[in-house]
Amino acid sequence: MMMSDDDDDTEPQLNAVESYYFVDPTDENEPVCFCTLPFRFGDTDDLPGCKKRLVLRGTGDPGVKVYNEVVAWRLVLEGKQPQLAVLTAEGRHWVRLIRPLKSYEEMIRTVLITAQMLHFLRRKPHEPEKTLWNHLCKVFNKFDVRPSEDDFRNHRSLMKQFAAKDPILAKSEILQVFLEGRSRKKFAEVGADHIDVKQPFITDDEDIDEMIVEDADNESDEEEDEDLFDSICAICDNGGDILCCDGPCMRSFHAKEGSGEDSYCDTLGYTEAEVEAMKLFLCKNCEYKQHQCFICGVLEPSDGAAAKVFLCNNATCGHFYHPKCVAQQLHPNNIDEASELEKKITEGFSFTCPIHWCFHCKGLEDRTQGPLQFAVCRRCPKSYHRKCLPREIFFDEIEEEGVIIRAWELSKRILIYCLDHEIDSDIETPVRDHIKFPKIEKPLQFVKGANLLRKKKKRTYSETVLEQPPKDTVKMKSKIRMQEREQNKQNTREVSAKSFTENPVDRPVKKKAKLKEKIQLPYVAKDHSVSSPKSVKEQEQELPSLPLSATRKTPPSLFPIVDSETEKRVITILRNKVSSLTIKDVTRNCSLPSTHVYSGRLTDKIPQGKLERSVQAVEAALKKLENGGSVNDAKAVCEPDVLRQLARWHSKLRVYISPFIHGTRYSSFGRHFTKVEKLVEIVDRLHWYVEPGDTIVDFCCGANDFSRLMKEKLDKDQKKCNFKNYDLIQPQHRFCFEKRDWMTVQPNELPRGSQLIMGLNPPFGVKASLANKFIDKALTFKPKLIILIVPKETKRLDQKRTPYDLIWEDSEVLAGKSFYLPGSVDLNDKTVEGWNASAPPLYLWSHPHWTKKHMQVAEERGHTCMGKIACHVEENNLSDDLPVRKQSEATKKWNSRSGKETTCNDRKANLLDGPTKKQARSEEEKETLGKIEHHVKEANIPDNLPVKKQAEASSKVISHSGKDRENGRYNSRRYDNRSRKWTPDHVESLPPEKQVEVAYVETKVIIPSKKITHKEQRGACRENRSSCVEETKSARYNYEKIAAAMSNMRSREGGDSDMSISPPVSSNARSKSMSYSPSRPIEHFDTTAHPDKYIDSVLNRAAHQDSCLAFNRKYDPIFTDIDDSSRMRGFSIEEVTKPYITAPTSDPYRLQSRGDGSFYRHPSSEDLNINADVHMQGYSARYGQNGGDSYPQARTVPLATDSQTHQRMHSGTSADNYLSTGYSLGSSGARFSQPASTVPCFGLPGASSQRGSSSVMDKYSYGLSGPTVPQSSVIDRYAASLDGTSSLPEQYPFRQSGSSRGGWPNI
């Protein structure tokens, strides 16, 4: 934090305040910025008339709450840190402000930044402006928006005061510049984000910033692609506006005439229009399939039987070699091996060229580690690790005279010319005669001839006065941007293009010379027709007209004849018209709203050649591995980054292509509306929180149903509210509608946050990017409540700058077909429904100011039991900021695997309050029990209804995809209530470590009361229940039993493939497993050791076991491991059930599991397990459904005690699960994936426990969404093919399209 208190306190009164914020004394709900107070310079505390007063609130030194009226503020710059203080109204002394309340910080952000800026300028008056920005960025890196000059805008007077009164700052030129506000241009170079957007001074720059940030993200992604491949011009070895060959060589060129001027590149000489028109660019080498050997430089055919040169098999390498040349280099000391290899290569054996190993140490490249990055020679197959690079190769930052620079930093590679090549000091590269294109009589001379050289030199003397034209900078813009982005990424990064190091005076001169040279090259004047100074548009216009003349000979058969005179006339008119149009106009007209941005635009940049090569390389690498090669060998062929790249491309393409394949779904701008019946449910829940006078804002109202329904409901309740609905597309119902882009709504257009309720279903965008944008925008209004339907990968609101508190979330209400695509009809003219493979949860978030009130409502209405409770709510306010931060860092570390920012607030918060929670817990437990009972009863009533009704109920229950369909068949309500029943147990969601301990204690506590509950119900639902119990029990016992039976992959596979019940296999496996783990046999004994207590109350025990099981599964590493083996249940269930039916009680398990838990309680491993559990959610839902669908006969079976049926069901499920298992295994370490795939195998109990636990687990799942997302996306594919029965075939790719959400709007 920026305000520090380093001097000692002598005064007895209040002198420093933490977590401060200011409110207006007249309205204490609204925080106000303290800079509205008068500013005092220096120590003067004589204040004449001060009318304006604010109330300072916060925590004083000893932890007392502060409530003081203040009248003025000051800023002291003398200390190590800028120091803010306010003058109290009574007593007139200064109170230091140490740290603002988190939610307040955003409000005073600009003051803080300005203060920091002044402080910096005062301390280091001679530092360049750039350092200042770096410093500010560093200090304020936690803000979403990086500091910019705009932040000073409102603090001119403050700056002026300092400039006038502070002697040091008075001299600061930078401050002067800021004061005048004219440094915009200069500064634009500093913040790459602002580089090409000249912001109007007074616009609301927040969204602009956001958008730019977004763009920058995209670009950086794109840039990553380029990093992997060669992205500098093959001719001049410089970056800029280059075109990549789509052929196997994968080289890039300055294709357009005039590009790459600063490196005197001769370019390929194409015109802009030619390049535009190219869909597939093949360089001459690839076009004629003649390539040069990278070692000897001879041009040879590279394709077919006549091939003399062969391509290296590395994915990113486009070099060809003579077998002989490369074999010699690969085996320099062994002639025999070399000749053997040569022979093999000639026969078509794939090889990896020497570039991919360090010339010095023979090690592999690792782009992620600086010292292991490669420096690759541009002229011969030689690479060095950064650490192995010969000292004679100098980098460009060495500014000594006479040093020949041979190395330039690229982002993750170094470009060198190794010592074998002589550098031409004029062009700063070796002589550019290295490229030979076929079909050109003499090898292309890219070098200037001796004559030219002389001429040029002459000019150098005569024309050195030339100023560097500003045009140059424009041309190099792209490069500069690239560099700057890089610089931002790593402040220390050197410039990536060597042209920067050139002497600026030299440059124009050289260019002149080069232009001259160009004219003499016949090669350049390739297209005479376009070399005339025509505008681009004309050329573009010409392009279509060219084919026109060609097709004229074959006009459409029946088309009326048009005389050529007329046609000419028309064409002239057209041309005139067309020339007045620019491509910019067109794109502007065609631009989609920011809310529905089409994300496919990047796909054009995926060069086919690279893709093909990568694909081949992947195969080659795998082959290599299968043939017994080492992983390093494979990596030399196809490095891991290539694989990642492919995965990225794959998802990009998928997003891009789906609209074409599923056109009907896209006549709606990719909008998805929530179905009215779902909205009704949401309204039912939300209206309790609404107070009269509130304004309800639907920021993306779609069909505008939500507000209507809300109004109906509120009118019934006699609550008068206002509504405001925004969307870009005017809906049929124009109730309180305004056609606006939500991003353009200004804060002053809506009432203050205390009366605002916002939200609902924003467009999601790829990886929830749009949803995040919408939410961020909504947060600027600081509404008291935000209700959201957003995918799970959306950034949670408790992770925002101003964290919101979760009142509840419900991941079930929107499962299944809750959405439809407006405006789209399928073949049968039915509205296309959106099927969401993974339902976006419904969240209710509250502004921290009003959390208590809302939580109360939630508790009164029992909403907290539906979804799950936000437990961090209180903690977040109470708990210290700093520890939380630290915790979060720690969590990040834990989850660094996922590569995503993790969000584990709940856990964090809980870690702090763990112990106290525990105590509070048992009390709360009792409270909730009442509720539970209620739920249970209610839920059980439908149990006695006919099956039909239950099916209906099941559709209402709405769970993840088809899960409850299965449940419904059994008795959906029962599971539902069970899940509810559990919820309270989990409500507290302690940190994993704690949970292991507490969980079991808890179960015990609950038991007695639960018993009562169950007894009460027994009469009502005895039959169903017992059947259920029997299943549960059997499965449970199976589970135990099989837990003891560690199965190996083979046997499972055998069993699954025919889905038959095969006891021998399992028993086999069981016996095997005995030897596996010492803990299992013990369990086994236990189960048989307590055979008799069982008789008593079957019901509650089953229930307990269930919950117990849930705990086990979640928190006990052992059990997650065992779960693995429980896949076996499918086959062995029959056998296992019976013997154990009368066997043990639940107690031993509890005991055991407790024991196991403690035994295995390594904090990290638990985390991993939780991790794993999170994965399960996704799968289980889907596979549960599969199981259900593939066994329709189960539906017809009455719900009686036919455990057989259920067992079959189980086997079905598990069989399907197996598929998932097989695949999921691949994607991450065994530790993760194994448990992940096991969950569904619980069959019924498993399923129900998932449902029960999901509420808790969900909470974690956000934090761990990294791993979740990937896995499920992988599985998606298989899911689609598996559950073909349940979904329309055309939904298949759509479902794939989102990363994890499957059928979610990608547009």
* Residue 81 or 667 with smaller CB distance to another protein: 667
Three-state DSSP at 1264 gives coil
We find the least distance from the C-beta atom of residue 1096 to another protein, in angstroms, to be 49
Sequence-distant (≥ 6) Cβ neighbours of residue 654 within 8 angstroms: 1293, 1296, 1297
Residue among 1072, 846, 1107, 1140 nearest 1000 (CA): 1107
* Residue 83 or 1300 with smaller CB distance to another protein: 1300
Indicate the DSSP class of residue 331.
S
* Residue 38 or 731 with smaller CB distance to another protein: 731
* Residue 900 or 994 with smaller CB distance to another protein: 900
H or E segment at 390? none
We find the least distance from the C-beta atom of residue 619 to another protein, in angstroms, to be 6
We find the least distance from the C-beta atom of residue 392 to another protein, in angstroms, to be 35
* Residue 262 or 705 with smaller CB distance to another protein: 705
We find the least distance from the C-beta atom of residue 707 to another protein, in angstroms, to be 16
- Supply 279's token pair: 């869909």
| Alpha-carbon distances of 988 from 409, 873, 1098, rounded to whole Å | 52, 11, 28
We find the least distance from the C-beta atom of residue 321 to another protein, in angstroms, to be 25
We find the least distance from the C-beta atom of residue 550 to another protein, in angstroms, to be 10
We find the least distance from the C-beta atom of residue 573 to another protein, in angstroms, to be 8
We find the least distance from the C-beta atom of residue 728 to another protein, in angstroms, to be 8
* Residue 280 or 878 with smaller CB distance to another protein: 280
H or E segment at 563? none
| Alpha-carbon distances of 399 from 390, 394, 423, 502, 509, rounded to whole Å | 18, 10, 17, 11, 22
Determine the residue type at 408: W
Cβ burial, residue 1225 (10 Å; 0-12/13-18/19+):
middle
Q: Show the DSSP H helices in 627-675 as ranges.
A: 631-637, 640-661
Residue among 33, 28, 22 nearest 108 (CA): 33
| Alpha-carbon distances of 804 from 783, 850, 876, 977, 1255, rounded to whole Å | 10, 10, 9, 29, 19
We find the least distance from the C-beta atom of residue 1091 to another protein, in angstroms, to be 44
- One-letter-per-residue 3-state SS of 819-881: EEEEEEECCCCCEEEEEECCCCCEEEEECHHHHHHHHHHHHHHCHHHHCEECCHHHHHHHCCH
What's phi and psi for 28, nearest 5 deg? -85, 5
* Residue 664 or 1077 with smaller CB distance to another protein: 664
We find the least distance from the C-beta atom of residue 1130 to another protein, in angstroms, to be 23
* Residue 335 or 570 with smaller CB distance to another protein: 570
Token pair 């190219």 is found at 278
* Residue 668 or 1145 with smaller CB distance to another protein: 668
* Residue 441 or 604 with smaller CB distance to another protein: 604
We find the least distance from the C-beta atom of residue 539 to another protein, in angstroms, to be 15
We find the least distance from the C-beta atom of residue 871 to another protein, in angstroms, to be 28
**CA 1119, CA 1249: separation in Å to the nearest integer?**
14
Indicate the DSSP class of residue 669.
T
Determine the residue type at 550: A
* Residue 441 or 565 with smaller CB distance to another protein: 565
* Residue 344 or 897 with smaller CB distance to another protein: 897
We find the least distance from the C-beta atom of residue 611 to another protein, in angstroms, to be 5
* Residue 658 or 772 with smaller CB distance to another protein: 658
* Residue 465 or 590 with smaller CB distance to another protein: 590
We find the least distance from the C-beta atom of residue 905 to another protein, in angstroms, to be 21
We find the least distance from the C-beta atom of residue 705 to another protein, in angstroms, to be 12
Pairing of β 695-698 and β 756-760: parallel
Three-state DSSP at 240 gives coil
* Residue 26 or 566 with smaller CB distance to another protein: 566
- Supply 61's token pair: 């030194």
String of DSSP letters for 718-756: T---EEEEEESS--S--TTEEE--GGG--GGGS--GGGE
Sequence-distant (≥ 6) Cβ neighbours of residue 604 within 8 angstroms: none
Cβ–Cβ < 8 Å for 310, 351: yes
Cβ–Cβ < 8 Å for 480, 473: yes
* Residue 966 or 1216 with smaller CB distance to another protein: 1216
Burial of 1181-1204, coded b for 16+ CB within 10 Å and e otherwise, reads bbbbbbbbbbbeebeebebebebe
**CA 1098, CA 1030: separation in Å to the nearest integer?**
8
**CA 602, CA 431: separation in Å to the nearest integer?**
36
We find the least distance from the C-beta atom of residue 1180 to another protein, in angstroms, to be 19
We find the least distance from the C-beta atom of residue 552 to another protein, in angstroms, to be 9
CA angle at 147 for the pair 145 and 153, rounded to the nearest 5°? 110
* Residue 392 or 829 with smaller CB distance to another protein: 829
CA angle at 490 for the pair 489 and 496, rounded to the nearest 5°? 90
**CA 906, CA 806: separation in Å to the nearest integer?**
10
Residue among 967, 962, 937 nearest 951 (CA): 967
- Supply 467's token pair: 């100023």
